[in-house]
Structure 1
Amino acid sequence: MKKNVVVKSSNSHDFPRYLTITVFIAALGGLLFGYDQGVMSGAVTFIGHTFAMSSGLLGFISGCIPLGAMVGCLIAGYLADRIGRKIMMFVSAILFALSGVGCAFAGNVAILIISRLIGGLGIGMVSTLVPLYIAEISPKQVRGKMVGSYQLAVASGIFVVYVINALIANTHTIAWNQDIGWRMMFLAGIVPGILFFVLLFFIPESPRFLVSKNQDEQAKRIMGKVSYNSEQTISTEVNEIKKTIHSETSNGTFLKELFKKGTRMALFIAVMCSVFQQLTGVSAVAYYAPVIFKNAGAGTNAAMIETVAIGLVKVLFVLFFMGMIDRLGRKRLLKWGGYGMAACMLLLAFCFDQTSMSKIFDVFIIALIIIHTSIFEMSWGGGAWVLISEMFPNKIRGRASSIASFALWAATYAVTQLFPVMLDKLGSVWTFVIFGIFCIAMGMFIQLFFSETAGKSLEQIQEDSKK
């Protein structure tokens, strides 16, 4: 009898199938994010020909997603605390599907821009809601791994769209791709949007949101399904949630709660980590991977294929991240991840500094980009989302998380817009040196300011932040 009890204990890293299914469905929102992040890497090669756009306008269209996302995450954070996480995830799926249709059938640049902005709204909502929802529904022992599944879905979306881009680009003529191919790349995105919308009907609302709306019994039933905890343990946990919510409510307005001791520091860390995640240079690599590979000596088709390889690497190393985040802890992975990416960026700068690029350096550049991507996925890729999802009080978690997400998308937009300018004005060498310096800074930031949150309940994290 004792043996059976140990297997199902709350200390075990085992978890019910219901939790796995629920997290899998919620994490599919990340697939939308990943798909839209990667689709421009293929379409950007051909889309300019259809509408005869300048490089500046083409860059703006690429940046429409983060622009829309900045607004989307703020809307989602506010409404998620008002009407629930699940309803807003439905809205995000609808917006994403509409964006895919709009981009595919755009007859002019204005419709294309509007469609991309609508997609950005949906992606911003997803990026705020999904990590938050998964963190709130997952037991503390596996919370990092479960939230990491969102990054796995993002990486999977990037891989899928890279494959689709490569298949379309490499199996048709350039003229066909310039006229129809890029439209098919966008149109394929409605499939994950519709799939996400349909599957959302099969998952519950966040139990912590339900407790905040005085629906304790329904919250207890859900918590019983996603863990092996006893009824007494679940009741105790619900009481802890109610206690923190009551404390937050009694402290007054959202802004007063946000800037009080503990939460103020949590906001600072979450915002800085959000910005740092983009200063790794990974978004720039994702958007402009084919261009970088072509500059390193690869042809157009080879560049597309090498980009697919990056997508596969992302998926594989996110799996490693999911296995390690709760064992090694957030702090260790993020700190050494920053230093590891810094080494890659500085070595890339060295390679691009060589006056006569040989095939050996071409291969080394590709290898360094893949290694940099691997380290990112093992650390900051999912790590930033984990931190954002678990650092804020229950009552304001949606709105506070949206502020950090806003900072992340603002940084994404800035990097996306500035990266090609940096390459043109500063050159590859100084561009990668600058990103390398940022990576060193983020490792030091984690060492100085972040306290480990692995293995703690969301309520315990709040209490520790007040000390």
Structure 2
Amino acid sequence: MKINPSYLYIIFLSLVAAIGGFLFGYDTAVISGTISQVSKQFNLDVIAQGWYVGCALLGSIVGVSLAGGLSDKYGRKKVMLLSAVLFSISALGCAVASSFTELILYRIIGGAGIGMVSIVSPMYISEVAPSSIRGSLVSLYQLAITIGFLGAFLTNYELLSLAETLIFQEGTLLAKVFHEEVWRAMLGMEILPALSFFIILLFIPESPRWLVINDQTTKAEKVFVRLYASTVAGKDKVEEVLKQANQTKESSWELLKNPVILKPVLLGMAIAILGQFMGVNAVLYYGPSIFEQAGLSGGDALYYQVMVGVVNVLTTILALFIIDQVGRKKLVYFGVSGMILSLLLISFYFYGSEIYNLPSIFILILFLAYIFFTAISISAVIFVLLSEMYPTKIRGLAMSIAGFSLWIGTYLVGQLTPWFLENLGPSGTFLFFTMMCFPYLYILWKKIPETAGKSLEEIEEYWLGDKS
């Protein structure tokens, strides 16, 4: 029987879950516009500044560690709701924090929301999406992250302009938040998308695959019927998930002891952490500093960084449309090959600039090329692969483990990049990023199957031993 999914409804559910990606991007990027103001107000030294910027990562690691187990036990929807609550508490708390300690506490709470949503949102999308467009729909989450970055930059800019033009009555809360200490408004504005996320989540169903695994087949069938606009198709999908789930009776942690199941979990950890050491976060976080080392002024460096952000968004949109047609692995082969070439040329540029006076336009072109190849490959593919390559019974736990690796990699790159730039120089730093591309390529080539066009149950069969 031919199944015709209700594409508009499925896209709606995916867009709702992808709002979590916007919050991820906003919460991560908004900090950049507040550092100088917060440092001045609380008299922060360099160490305290680093703690202010990086404290959310601690919350992210805690959030990602808990998200898988919570989502397997209580459901994907409930954990997304919890993340929306954490984002809201963080935004409101940061806006009214009376001390630096309070500010840090609320930033950590927001970080926990980031960690949770980074696991559960793409997982939810993968479990409601049909195989034909699953890659594109999960990529909506990555696109939302990039839009969140731009949204934070634009919000910071507009609020700063507002603070300089509007006059508020002195001594009022509005004056404090939107004029005297505008960093509070920058951090607090996150409550608008966070509350919107919470409210809309109330009107979407739980993941049908989670419902099946947790013996709620009647509810699961109703969701599948809505997704596929067919009672027969709904029953068939429930039976398909049940058949696959009944092959294993062990709990999630017991399944991890099975070498067959452990293999994709370890591979997911490997690509999650290696992807961070291929330079993308170093470019996004430290781009202005790197551009300044290329001889640009501070203003030009920020302008170049905005162009990097725009290319990141536009390329992610392109990836969204082609990831299911081209396939995950072909995109990685193309993109990582381009990353290797552009990273080598960036390294040569910095090496040559010490000898020759090379025009700065060259470094902009190379950086934009690097971001293009990154956004169309590893950035677009990582959340898609992690959300679909694990058996349903262990998907939440396995994604938490992979997400934990990703955040550890992010932390290490954030901490080590300044050391690399100082001790290896920009040329040596980008040469190191180049070398990290090769093990990533090898793992995707030899160890991970193409998942485009395959149902989650077919992918599970592959890992359980049926390599056909």
Give the match's secondary structure for 2:31.
helix
Q: Deviations over 1:4-47 (max 9, x none)?
A: x9xxx54x7x7521111111111100001111221233333443
Q: Distance in 2 between matches of 1:105 and 1:342?
A: 46
The Cα shift of 1:116 comes to 1.6
Match of 1:355 in 2: 354
State how many pairs are aligned.
452
Q: Mark the runs of 5 or more structure 2 residues left unpaired by the alignment.
A: 165-176
Higher mean alpha-carbon deviation, 421-430 vs 128-137, is at 421-430
Q: Which amino acid aligns with 2:311?
A: V
Match of 2:200 in 1: 199
The Cα shift of 1:170 comes to 6.8
| 1:246 is the counterpart of 2:238 | no
Q: Distance in 1 between matches of 2:61 and 2:401?
A: 9
> Which structure ranks higher in relative contact order (CA pairs < 8 Å, sequence separation ≥ 6)?
1
The Cα shift of 1:357 comes to 7.2
Which of residues 34, 38, 44 in structure 2 aligns to 1:43? 34
Match of 1:183 in 2: 184
Q: Which amino acid aligns with 2:317?
A: L
Higher mean alpha-carbon deviation, 291-300 vs 238-247, is at 291-300
Give the match's secondary structure for 1:95.
helix
Q: Distance in 2 between matches of 1:224 and 1:136?
A: 14
Q: Mark the runs of 5 or more structure 1 residues left unpaired by the alignment.
A: none
Match of 1:260 in 2: 258
* 8 A Cα contact 1:50 1:179, kept in partner: no
Residue 182 and residue 53 in structure 1: after superposition, are their counterparts in 2 closer, same or farther (change >3 A)? same
The Cα shift of 1:88 comes to 0.9
* 8 A Cα contact 2:26 2:149, kept in partner: yes
| 1:417 is the counterpart of 2:408 | no
Give the match's secondary structure for 1:273.
helix
Q: Which amino acid aligns with 2:91?
A: G
Give TM-score scaled by structure 1 length: 0.90
Which of residues 53, 78, 81 in structure 1 aligns to 2:69? 78
Higher mean alpha-carbon deviation, 452-461 vs 43-52, is at 43-52
Give TM-score scaled by structure 2 length: 0.90
1:47-446 matched pairs, under 5 angstroms: 47-168=38-159, 180-227=181-228, 230-248=230-248, 250=249, 252-353=250-351, 354-355=353-354, 358=357, 361-446=359-444
Q: Distance in 2 between matches of 1:149 and 1:132?
A: 12
Match of 2:20 in 1: 29
State the 4+ residue runs in structure 1 displaced beyond 4 angstroms: 168-173, 176-179
Q: Deviations over 1:193-249 (max 9, x none)?
A: 111111111211100111122222221222222235x4333322211211222222x
Could you tell me the percent identity over the aligned residues? 36
* 8 A Cα contact 1:98 1:115, kept in partner: yes
Q: Which amino acid aligns with 1:269?
A: L
The Cα shift of 1:178 comes to 11
Q: Deviations over 1:147-192 (max 9, x none)?
A: 111011111101111222344557777xx99963433321222222
* CA RMSD, Structure 1 to Structure 2 (Å): 2.4
Q: Which amino acid aligns with 2:333?
A: K
Residue 86 and residue 384 in structure 1: after superposition, are their counterparts in 2 closer, same or farther (change >3 A)? same
* 8 A Cα contact 1:165 1:185, kept in partner: yes
Residue 160 and residue 401 in structure 1: after superposition, are their counterparts in 2 closer, same or farther (change >3 A)? same
